[in-house]
Amino acid sequence: MNEFVRELVGPLAPAFALLTHLGDGALLLVLGVLVYWFGALESQRDRVFVIAVGVAALALSAGVKGVVQLPRPELAFAPAGYPGYSFPSAHAMGSAAFYGALAVTMEWGTRRRRYLLAGSVIAIVALSRVVMGVHYLGDVLVGIVLGLALVGIGVWTREEGLFEPGPMFALAAAAALLAALLGSRVFLALTIGASIGGLIGWYYVDGRSVTQSGAAVLVLGAIAVTGIAVLRYATIWLGLERPDGTSSLVVPLVEVVGYAVLTATVLALPRLALAVEDRPIVRRLQSRLPFSDRTIDVDGVSRSD
């Protein structure tokens, strides 16, 4: 099937190697955080829900990979030494969960247009994994189904039309812990820590006042992102976690706590930023950068050009 699909796209195959990055976990993380930090205040709950669905997708995909441990396809055109396991496709699941959650929570355009756009991106990412030869067709189909199922659970458990990020973070934690009991070690510290940290961070900001200064979020956000990068790569440098995401048999407690603290900080940051929004440097940045409160003023960007 992989050979057939690759021949079907013909000369477009190299393009799919680029398009596959639309489903990279790092990109989805950055997009989710940026939308949360710099989105409209009234939709904060929806944006946290998108992050929660993404964390749940990561926990579920990593857990199943670590339990099933299906090797990747051995094909002549597949990248040599591509890390990780094949089933299910984390790219397909992550894309379905993230872009699907955006489609059901955003108010941009019509619902039909949002669903069509999200579906197109999901299909492109899934197809790219088969074209590249790093997944079987079944891997991506199952990934899409599971990712959309997470979104469906969120829609189904809404209360009075409001999405509930808390239960989704709890589901992610349960999936990560169950995977650990079944023997998975793939991204274990990350998924457990992010799930617990997400729960703590969400209930910390839920119903509380947050900053309306985009510059305050930007300043604290730069510090938080630096911390995330340092922790992520320090685990590899210290030999606690290998580049393919597998950890030692006994996952260091400090690593789990570190991811929990960082995730909670990311979610709590708009509230924590209240402490710095009146600092002179922050006020100068707020006046000079194209912010309209927390959101980016598109008209201001255009005028500055």
CA atoms within 13 A on the CB side of 189: 24
Kindly state the tokens that stand for 74: 């051995």
Per-residue tokens: 160: 């009075």
* C-alpha–C-alpha distance, residues 96 and 256, integer Å: 26
C-alpha closest to that of 148 among 192, 194, 199, 94: 94
What mean pLDDT comes out for the span 76-99? 83
CA distances from 304 to 272, 287, 290 (A): 30, 13, 8
Output helix, strand, coil percentages for the chain, rounded to the nearest 5.
70, 5, 25
3-57 pLDDT, tens per residue?
A: 556 556 667 778 888 999 999 988 999 899 988 988 776 788 899 999 999 999 9
The residue that leads in pLDDT, 52 or 160, is 52
Tens digit of each residue's pLDDT (9 = 90 or more) over 181-236: 998 888 888 899 999 999 999 999 988 888 888 888 888 888 777 776 776 677 66
Q: What is the distance between the alpha carbons of residues 291 and 285, in angstroms, rounded to a whole number?
A: 9
Distance CA 19, CA 300 (A): 31
- pLDDT of 158 above 50: yes
